[in-house]
Amino acid sequence: MKKNLTITTIIAFVLSVGAAMAQQRPQYSQYVLNNYLHNPAVGGIENYADIRTGYRAQWIGLEGAPKSFYASAHTMLGQPRRTSNPKSRRINRYGFTNKNSLRSVSPHHGIGMFAQVDKAGLLNTSTFNVSYAYHLPISRYINLSSGISTGLSNYSVKTGDAIYFDTNDAYLTGAVPNTAKLDLGVGFWLYSPDFYIGLSGTQLVPDKQDPAQQGNGDAAQFHRLRQAHYYATAGMRMHFSKELAFVPSLMLKKTSTSAVALDLNAKLMYDQKYWAGLSYRHQDAVAVLAGASIGDLFDLAYSYDFTTSELNKYSAGSHEVVLGFKLNNRNRETNSQWVW
């Protein structure tokens, strides 16, 4: 059933940016499979072209709930890096890679692209970015990369899809047309065979309010909502044996108007091909995740979120599917070497 336009727009914003109206970018439970989503420094980290698509249907059963789709691709430039096979690496007594069993790696460049479509209520957002990264070995064991991304985001409110009662609503007067905004992101990624630490920022171009919208109530608020997002991520891989590894990780998210939000993740990996785990998103959801690498060409993963906020009274959770492809995989690697 269609609702009053003002009410529907408010609901759309709440669903898409959270109760505090802080997070404006889509959230994904399986971002650990594709850290390139929020950090351009990950681009080109592998020896092959990493192509991924993801679809998320959030808060099933709730009218106007967010639905998001993305496609990303990134690759290194030049010859494949010289790396050791994870299965042949020697593991020390602490469960980490023996540094003497590693081969040296070479500096290299990485390029990539990212496209995303997000729909929440009457609000539609589409984004297209391109990125560049440079990877530099600090030692045989540790590498550092930095990256930058840029592109455009387009925002639109489909006023024609709503039934309304207030004919003076600012959204009905054309006050919120399609709006294109410049995107800018930067990131750093410190990584080894056993851990990673990342820092990044997205939507870093200041959002200047259109003078025509000043003092125009809700319409002006729409133009002020876009703000910078900051991310800090970290994870490690600890081996119980050559076949079994434990991978805990976390993400901290922050905007200029919100408190820090926390995601915690933990998964078990078997034979570098199969994995299952749990994810906790503070005051929002608990998710179960599972996936598998199928040969050296592609991998598939699925997650289901159990909502823990007040929205659990109205929704049946969230579904997310991620499909990845490894193109130009000359070393026939069955699993990611650096992102796990």
What are the structural domains, with CATH classification, of the chain?
5-327 (2.40.160.40)
Report the alpha-carbon distance of residue 245 to residue 275 in Å, rounded.
Answer: 9
Q: What is the pTM of this model?
A: 0.83
Cβ-based neighbour number of residue 94 at 10 Å: 9
Q: What is the pLDDT along the chain (340 residues), one digit of tens a residue?
A: 444 444 444 444 444 444 333 456 788 999 999 999 999 999 999 989 999 999 999 988 888 888 999 999 999 997 666 666 666 677 877 788 887 777 667 899 999 999 999 988 878 889 999 999 999 999 888 999 999 999 999 888 776 666 666 666 655 555 556 788 899 999 999 999 899 999 999 999 877 654 444 444 444 444 455 789 999 999 999 999 888 999 999 999 998 777 899 999 999 999 888 999 999 998 889 999 999 998 888 999 999 999 988 887 788 889 999 999 999 888 787 777 787 7
Report the alpha-carbon distance of residue 97 to residue 76 in Å, rounded.
Answer: 24
Report the alpha-carbon distance of residue 183 to residue 180 in Å, rounded.
Answer: 10
SS3 171: helix
Q: What is the pLDDT of residue 64?
A: 81
DSSP string, 36-104: GGT-GGGTT-SSSEEEEEEEEE-STTSTT--EEEEEEEEEEESSPP----GGG--B-TTSSB-GGGPPP
For the chain, what's the residue count? 340
Residue 339's identity, in one-letter code, is V
DSSP-derived letter for residue 209 is P
Nearest Cα to 329, choosing from 46, 40, 35, 108?
46
Encoded tokens for 46 = 């592998």
